[in-house]
Chain A
Amino acid sequence: MAAPSRGRLNRSETLWGYLFVAAPFLGFMLFGAIPLMGSLILGFTEWDLASEPEFVGMQNWSQALSLHIAALPVEIDEATGEPMYRCGRERVPQSQVGDFTGRIDERTNAPYVCEARYARPGSVLPRGFDEWHQFNLFGQQYIVGAIDPIFWKAMFNTFYLLLAIPISLVIALGFAIAMNQNIVGARLFRTIYYTPVILPIAALALIWLWIFNPTYGLLNYFLGQFGIESSVNWLGNAETVKPALIIMLIWRGLGYQVLIYLAGLQGVPRQLYEAAQIDGANAWQRFRAVTWPSLTPTTFFLVITSMIGTFQIFQEPFIMTEGGPYFESTTMVMVIQQNAFRDVQMGYASAQAWILGFIIIIFTLINFYVSRRWVSYES
């Protein structure tokens, strides 16, 4: 008997329901799905926005990803057939290397260091490939060439910056545990730690640019106070620019991680600690047996979300280093941004963006999969 009215009601409820959820879905179609499809197609084209897009098959993908690894032979003198060495700045045949050992190089006032000279990268790499990296394995020199070495450099740099995550998680957990000790003023500490998280990165980047200043910066000054005389040009050196960025990333993101860990800690059942205490477990044992296992889901969540964020780092190096020196702090998003909006290579930039997108999606899927397993574990 109630069926007709229920049916009418449902129809109206259905209509209203669709109307209410329409906006996000319309927005997603217009500004999400359609451009997304377009971008996937774009990845197989060459397009400078001025002319018509041209279909080029897999060219963009192979241009971005092609690698060539080759053994790099020692340079052989054409006249004598002898392997060549480099001692200081001199080019020396192997038979004369003995003459240099122990002698002082007048240029540097240090004893000569002799190393094998290797053939030019161009002699072993295929056409179109440039050197990305060299390494030595069991005494043999190898060279890794890429069609787009800058993209590989950027990929390497981006993964390097992921190092910030384990370091900052350890620090954040320490602070969260300290904050969880029934501390007076915990709210104040929480606020202080969290402040950088909500502030515009552009402003924070300027502050850190000044802190990293080689002569008058705060960092070198502090190191000096602890007896480490340092005039390191943090952002200007290939060796220090990524560690410097990592320091800043940790400082900026710490508050968020502390807060999430604190929430995790407050969810650890109190009885577990009491039981462990009665069993005579010391602080470290309680941490290992109770705290850490209870926090694994939290840690996992933080690892994955931090990874997704770090993979897309752009602003800090863009403002602080412009990717330098020698592309040592160029990130993947910077390369994509430059290819798309400076060099107007829309197809190539799309392919690169998808490569990064796939990397991120894989990590996100792992997150969803594992966190689901965790939830079912607990219930």
Chain B
Amino acid sequence: MTDLATPPKTYTPTPVRSRFALGNRERNLITKVIAYLVLILGAIVMIVPFFWMVSTSLKDSTSIFILPPEWIPLQPTLKNYEEAWDVAMLPRGFVNSTFIAVTSTIGEVFASMLAGFAFARMRFPGRNALFGILLVTMMIPGVVMLVPSFILFTQLGWVNTWSPLIIPVLFGTPFAVFLSRQYFATLPADLEDAAKVDGANYFQTFLFVFLPLARPIMATLFVLGFIARWNDFIGPLIYLRSTELYPIPLLLARLNSLYEQNWTLLMAGATLALLPILFLFFLLQRYFVESVALTGIKG
């Protein structure tokens, strides 16, 4: 963002303009102060719910009813965390969520990148038509698929297993194919030739030449897919019956219905559920932000 800085010094050759620039500088200062105030206020609004969550989770169940609320608990306790960890079945949930999200996303990313590579770098009859079909399928709203998918998976005997959540994704998703095609299309034109001279087939070319060059898009796709799968709610809600199979979001909903109004416990559960994703977010922030920029292309 620094490249967008105003270059006032090189921009003030005449007296008229310099008067202008001076006024601008003062005005810029006011603008900046207002901008900071707005942003800080907004940031407070964004953070306070999380702060409130953590604060509540550290209190015992009577001190949450003290008004005005204690923002920083006077006698913090970890008791709620111990309880939530067990009654919400969170350890189990983390294993389940991680397994579902990681396996499905690895398959999704690989299959989608392979197809994206073919669409961007290879010539075969009907290529553009097939790509067009793929774009059209992106338009199908997910809600239309709820009922028919359920019927299909019931007939396949997949209900109350993770298969409906993992297997369809392994084939690749239109959006991921689209994003990887766009990325591969930007790579230099003569990359294939060297591989061809070495006698590599197309799969080897993809695997050893293009895939290593496509790490940024790979990371972005992985982040996008992982978050979508980890946060999925309606899929697990429809297909899973046994609580041992539940991923984290479903376990939180279950915790809420079992311990309604038990705010300290619920907030401890929510905090625990958010921590790994938050950790991942701060670690891989760059790819999260890039993924947003990419989804912006979609329109």
List residues of chain A with CB under 8 Å of any chain B CB: 10, 12-14, 16-18, 20-21, 23-28, 30-32, 34-36, 38-39, 42, 49, 171, 174-175, 177-183, 186, 189-196, 198-204, 206-211, 213, 215-216, 218, 221, 251, 254-256, 259-260, 263, 266, 270, 274, 277-278, 283, 297-298, 300-301, 304-305, 308, 311-312, 314-315, 318-319, 332-333, 336-337, 340-341, 346, 349-350, 353-354, 356-357, 360-361, 364-365, 367-368, 371
Distance from B64 Cβ to chain A, minimum over Cβ atoms (Å): 6
Distance from B201 Cβ to chain A, minimum over Cβ atoms (Å): 7
Answer yes or no: B31 CB below 8 A from chain A CBs: yes
Q: Are A340 and B147 in contact (CB under 8 A)?
A: yes
Answer yes or no: B118 CB below 8 A from chain A CBs: yes
Please name 27 pairs of A and B residues whose Cβ atoms are closer than 8 Å in the assembled complex, sorted by A.
A14-B124, A21-B115, A24-B134, A24-B171, A35-B151, A35-B152, A36-B148, A38-B152, A183-B32, A183-B39, A186-B1, A191-B285, A200-B273, A202-B250, A203-B270, A206-B256, A207-B267, A210-B53, A210-B56, A218-B52, A221-B68, A263-B293, A308-B141, A333-B234, A336-B143, A337-B146, A353-B146
Answer yes or no: B174 CB below 8 A from chain A CBs: yes
Closest 10 CB pairs of A and B: A27-B171, A35-B148, A17-B124, A20-B118, A39-B148, A301-B299, A202-B249, A178-B35, A357-B144, A16-B202
Answer yes or no: B48 CB below 8 A from chain A CBs: yes
Which residues of the partner chain A approach B270 to less than 8 Å between Cβ atoms? Answer: 203, 206-207
Q: Contacts A10-B123, A31-B171, A35-B152 given; indicate if A259 touches B1 (C-beta within 8 A).
A: no
A251 to B56, CA, bound (A): 20
Distance from B43 Cβ to chain A, minimum over Cβ atoms (Å): 5
Q: Nearest B residue to A38 by beta-carbon distance? A: B148
Find B252's partner among A24, A206, A354 (CB 8 Å cutoff).
Answer: A206
Q: Are A270 and B4 in contact (CB under 8 A)?
A: yes
Quick one: which of B101-134 are within 8 Å of A by CB?
A: 111-112, 114-115, 117-119, 122-125, 127, 130, 133-134
Q: Contacts A31-B171, A182-B5, A354-B144 given; indicate if A283 touches B31 (C-beta within 8 A).
A: yes
Q: Are A301 and B296 in contact (CB under 8 A)?
A: yes
Q: Contacts A23-B172, A218-B69 given; indicate if A349 touches B147 (C-beta within 8 A).
A: yes
Q: Mark B71-96, 1 if CB is under 8 A from A, else 0.
A: 00000000000000000000000000
Find A182's partner among B4, B49, B142 (CB 8 Å cutoff).
Answer: B4
Q: Mark B139-163, 1 if CB is under 8 A from A, else 0.
A: 1111111111111101000000000
A208 to B4, CA, bound (A): 38
Find A38's partner among B52, B151, B282 (CB 8 Å cutoff).
Answer: B151
Q: Contacts A216-B67, A259-B292, A304-B299 given; indicate if A178 touches B249 (C-beta within 8 A).
A: no
In this complex, which of A18, A300, A361 has the most chain B Cβ atoms within 10 angstroms of its Cβ?
Answer: A18
Q: Contacts A178-B35, A200-B277, A202-B249 given; indicate if A193 touches B43 (C-beta within 8 A).
A: yes
Q: Contacts A49-B151, A175-B42 given; indicate if A210 touches B171 (C-beta within 8 A).
A: no
Q: Nearest A residue to B139 by beta-carbon distance? A: A364
A333 to B142, CA, bound (A): 10
Q: Contacts A24-B174, A206-B256 given; indicate if A305 touches B299 (C-beta within 8 A).
A: yes
Answer yes or no: B50 CB below 8 A from chain A CBs: yes
Decide if the interface of chain B is mainly helix, strand, loop or mixed: helix
Q: Nearest A residue to B168 by beta-carbon distance? A: A31
Which residues of the partner chain A approach B45 to less than 8 Å between Cβ atoms? Answer: 251
Q: Are B274 and A200 in contact (CB under 8 A)?
A: yes
A215 to B278, CA, bound (A): 30
Q: Are A203 and B115 in contact (CB under 8 A)?
A: no
Q: Are A210 and B147 in contact (CB under 8 A)?
A: no
Quick one: which of B5-60 are within 8 Å of A by CB?
A: 5-6, 11, 17, 20, 24, 27-28, 31-32, 34-36, 38-39, 42-43, 45-50, 52-53, 56
Find A13's partner among B112, B115, B124, B234 (CB 8 Å cutoff).
Answer: B124
Q: Nearest B residue to A32 by beta-carbon distance? A: B137
Q: Are B152 and A189 in contact (CB under 8 A)?
A: no
Answer yes or no: B217 CB below 8 A from chain A CBs: no
Which residues of the partner chain A approach B4 to less than 8 Å between Cβ atoms? Answer: 180, 182, 266, 270
Answer yes or no: B99 CB below 8 A from chain A CBs: no
A173 to B213, CA, bound (A): 35
Distance from A240 Cβ to chain B, minimum over Cβ atoms (Å): 18
In this complex, which of A14, A200, A336 has the most chain B Cβ atoms within 10 angstroms of its Cβ?
Answer: A200
Answer yes or no: B194 CB below 8 A from chain A CBs: no
Quick one: which of B276-293 are within 8 Å of A by CB?
A: 277-278, 281-282, 285, 288-289, 292-293
Answer yes or no: B214 CB below 8 A from chain A CBs: no
Q: Are A353 and B147 in contact (CB under 8 A)?
A: yes
Find A39's partner among B124, B144, B173 (CB 8 Å cutoff).
Answer: B144
Find A353's partner among B32, B143, B168 (CB 8 Å cutoff).
Answer: B143
Q: Are B147 and A182 in contact (CB under 8 A)?
A: no
